[in-house]
Structures are given as C-alpha cells and as structure tokens.
Amino acid sequence: MSKYIIQGKRKLAGSIKVNSSKNSALGLLGASLLNKGTTELLNFPDLQETKRIIEVLESIGVKITWLKPHHLKITPPSKLKLSSINYRSATSTRAVLLLIGPLIHYFKKFKLPKAGGCKLGARTITPYLYALENLGVKIKTLAKYYEISRTDKVKTEDIVLYESGDTVTECVITAAALNSQKTVIKYASANYQVQELCHFLQLLGVKISNIGNTTLIIQGQKSINKKVKYYLSEDPIEAMLFISLAATTNSSITIKNCPLDFLEVELLKLSKMGFNYRIIKRHFSKNKKTKLVDLKTFPSKLKALKEKIYGRPYPGLNIDNLPFFVPIATQSQGRTLIHDWVYENRAIYFTELSRLGANITLADPHRVYIDGPSSLKAAEIMSPLALRPAVIILITMLAAKGKSILRNIYSIERGYENLDKRLKALGADIKKVDN
C-alpha cells in the first residue's frame, strides 16, 4: 500500500511527454495470441495492469521477454496450457475478457477466471454473450469462472453490438480475425484502442475496412504466422490528465505527443470554459497512423459551462476523460453539472474532492454539481479502487494548499507509469513512500 505525500499549490512548468496507452496495450497483448510467429511491441507501457496480463500469458505458456525498456517480445508456445492459468492475476483485471476472442480459436471449450478491475458498479458481460453467440460461442457465468464453448455453426457474420463498448468490440474483432468468412460488426466502438487493435491486425494480414467508424468489415485469415513489430501510439487519456492538471493548477506547461483526434471535443469545451492553450507542433506517432500535437498551456480564468458535461462513445467526449473535468470545475466560476451516465458508482467517488475543499453536491449516483471556484485545502485520503477517480484526487491535491497524503496508490499505478517522477520534473512536490 504505497502512498503519495504531496505539498500542493505549486505552479508547474516545463514539458512532459505523453506515454502509450494502457488500454491499447492490453488489447494488443490479447491479440498477440492470434499470431503463431513472434510479435514485438515497442513503446509498450510498463504498468501494473499490463503486468497482470503478462503474468496470465506467461502462466499459460507464452514466452515474454523485455528486449529493452518499453520493448516487448512475445513468443507463443506450441500449445497453450489453460489449466495452469494464474488465477490471481486474471481476476485482478477486466482485461482478461480480451482473451476470449483469441482463445476460441484454440479451444472448443475452456474456462477463464472471472474479470476484476475498477470498482465502478455493475459491469455486465451481457454484450459479449449476445455478440459472440453470432459466431457460435456460448458463455456461461459460474461462481469463479466463465465457461466458454463454441461450435462450428456460425449463426451470422453480421453482428449488431448490444452495447458500443471498447472491450466487447475488441473481443469480437479478435474472434473474427481467424474467421475466413467476412464479418460485419455494427454499432462498434471507434475509440482509440479499437483503432489501434485494427492497425495491428492489419499488420498481421487481417483485412479490416472502415477503421474509425461504427461499422467494421473484417475479412479474417485462416492462420497467422508472421514476425512483426508494432509501435503503440500515445494515450489520449494520459494527455487529458496533464491538460486537467495544467488547468486546475493554473500552470503553463508543454504537453508533447497528444493524440489530437481523440481530444478535440475535450479541448473545445475547455476553450469555451476559458482555458488558454496553443498547438505548437503537429506530427505523427511512430506507427504512422495517429496524429499528434504538442500543446502549450497558459494560466487561464475559467468559467463553468451552462450545459452539462457528459461522456459518450467516440467521437464524443471520451468517457474516461470525463472525470478530469471535475477538478477543473472546482476552479471555474459558476456551477458545473457533470453527468457520468455510464457507471453507477463513479460519480460517488467524485465527492471525495469535498474533503479537499471542493463544493460538490451529489444529485444521484450519476450526477454531481460543482460550484466554483473553491479554495482547496490539504487532506489525507484513501485512494478509491478505480483508476480515474483516484488520479483526479491526486490532481486536486496538487492544487490544494498544504500537505496531502494519498494512500493505496495501486489504482493509479495500474494506468500511469512513474507518474510521481514525471510530475516532479514539472516542479510538483510529490514523494512516493512504500509502506
């Protein structure tokens, strides 16, 4: 149970680079099982969450080698051994669901430990059941496992997703990747990690049309045996963390390698709130697919939007970026309504900021009103078991006057690498202590 000790209300300065995405990395780890050849993933994030899936893959026979920092080599075994799966690691993350799509190509029947991850209320797997049944796959939920079976009788290759979720879309894509018939996925997520997965699969020879749209057309391969290298793109959610930090602390910093296509709505809303920034450079990620920009932020006088702020599937404001508007709203003049309609419990976590002096009213499990600007003060808080709610507490502590302590920071380390050291480079007074 490590903790952060923070001396807040420091103006930040300097530049920081955006790292690659946890969510994309998890999808590519799962998809690497489709390849009988070796897969090298570069610009790969070294995170607690990615470590858990690596542990799962190693436990079933996959050889994983760090060639260099952030450079991973994945070598499949001649035969996967699901009987030896690392149960503890598998149940600590929701990303274990990403293994269903690849594994159905190896086993007609198998068990997979039930998914864990962020505690955000009810997180059903119903969309997986309804989508995969079109490909002859059945999922039965037991006490500790999912029991998954498939037949060779494919109901239809036209799949309408019950929910436009990122993970379920990825799961169906990988299930279709070794299906030699054409598969059409409608109401698919077009989010950044889904696009990244599609670009990776194209490198493996899978034909995918309409990437970035909500209808995907996939022409799979009967078998894949290639030696490939793929560079992961940068994370728009991490970019939003630093944007939120700059706005909340009223600091001028340079944020490098921001994936612009997945931040445009967020930046538009922030500009209407009075947030000042300038794009100083445009370029591409090393994968040659993702448009990046370097942003310079400036001290700003913020005001609340009259309209509610809410997330939605891409191309809307990213659902994972929504929490970052909460600390910003605490420093904005007027009343802000944040509507987090996706998760039953996440908005409740937002009220933890009241312990730091924020004026937050919980309207219901999905909505909070924030009146600002607030004079933030230090506090000692136990980090919630949810990544984004935990990190917005950290942001608010960095803007609060006095010494704050954020305990049990595993939730943050699941998704952000060496965050304390990177924040120190910007001038933050933050110290990580291992209990």
Task: Please give the model's pTM, rounded to 2 decimal places.
Answer: 0.96
DSSP state of 49: H
Task: Give the CA distances from residue 226 to residues 72, 92, 174, 223, 229, in Å, rounded to whole numbers and listed in that order.
Answer: 16, 31, 16, 10, 10
Give residue for tokens 């299930």: 175
Residue 78: other Cβ atoms inside 10 A:
6
Q: Per DSSP, which regions of 196-339 are E strands?
A: 207-209, 215-219, 228-231, 254-259, 276-284, 291-298, 309-310, 334-339
**Confidence band, pLDDT 50/70/90 cuts, at residue 155:** low
Domain shared by 65 and 148, yes or no: yes
Q: What is the pLDDT of residues 209-241, one digit of tens each?
A: 999 999 999 999 999 999 999 999 999 999 999
Tell which of 231, 250, 276 closes a domain: 231
pLDDT > 70: what percent of the chain?
A: 97
Domain shared by 215 and 281, yes or no: no
Domain shared by 167 and 253, yes or no: no
Which H or E element spans position 420? helix 419-424
Work out the angle at residue 166's Cα, subtended by the Cα atoms of residues 161 and 168, and round it to the nearest 5 degrees: 50
At position 141, the amino acid (one-letter code) is T
Task: Give the CA distances from residue 163 to residues 118, 152, 160, 275, in Å, rounded to whole numbers and listed in that order.
Answer: 19, 25, 9, 34
Q: How far apart are CA 208 and CA 198, in angstroms?
A: 7
Q: How far apart are CA 180 and CA 94, in angstroms?
A: 28
Domain shared by 196 and 315, yes or no: no
The CATH number linked to 353 is 3.65.10.10
Work out the angle at residue 190's Cα, subtended by the Cα atoms of residues 187 and 192, and round it to the nearest 5 degrees: 155
Cis peptide before 315 (omega within 30 of 0): yes
Q: How far apart are CA 406 and CA 105, in angstroms?
A: 44
Tokens of 301: 């006088």
Domain shared by 227 and 306, yes or no: no
Q: How far apart are CA 261 and CA 211, in angstroms?
A: 13
Q: Residue 345, class by beta-carbon neighbours within 10 Å (0-12 exposed, 13-18 middle, 19+ buried)? A: middle
| Pair 243, 260: CB distance under 8 Å | no
Q: How far apart are CA 269 and CA 166, in angstroms?
A: 23
Tell which of 231, 264, 284 closes a domain: 231
Domain shared by 85 and 217, yes or no: yes
Query: What residues make up the domain containing 197?
Result: 22-231
Domain shared by 265 and 149, yes or no: no
What is the domain count for the chain? 2
Domain shared by 152 and 72, yes or no: yes
Domain shared by 205 and 346, yes or no: no
Tell which of 186, 206, 231 closes a domain: 231
At position 176, the amino acid (one-letter code) is A
Domain shared by 224 and 339, yes or no: no
DSSP state of 95: G
Domain shared by 243 and 111, yes or no: no
**Confidence band, pLDDT 50/70/90 cuts, at residue 154:** low
Query: Who has greater pLDDT, 344 or 434?
Result: 434
105-110: average pLDDT = 94
Q: What region, left, alpha or beta, does residue 136 occupy, with left being phi > 0 and alpha being psi -120 to 50 degrees?
A: left
Q: What is the pLDDT of residues 9-31, one digit of tens each?
A: 999 999 999 999 999 999 999 99
| Pair 131, 162: CB distance under 8 Å | yes
Domain shared by 87 and 211, yes or no: yes
Give residue for tokens 């070598």: 75
Query: Who has greater pLDDT, 399 or 123?
Result: 399
Q: What is the pLDDT of residues 80-97, one digit of tens each?
A: 999 999 999 999 999 999
Q: How far apart are CA 196 and CA 90, in angstroms?
A: 23
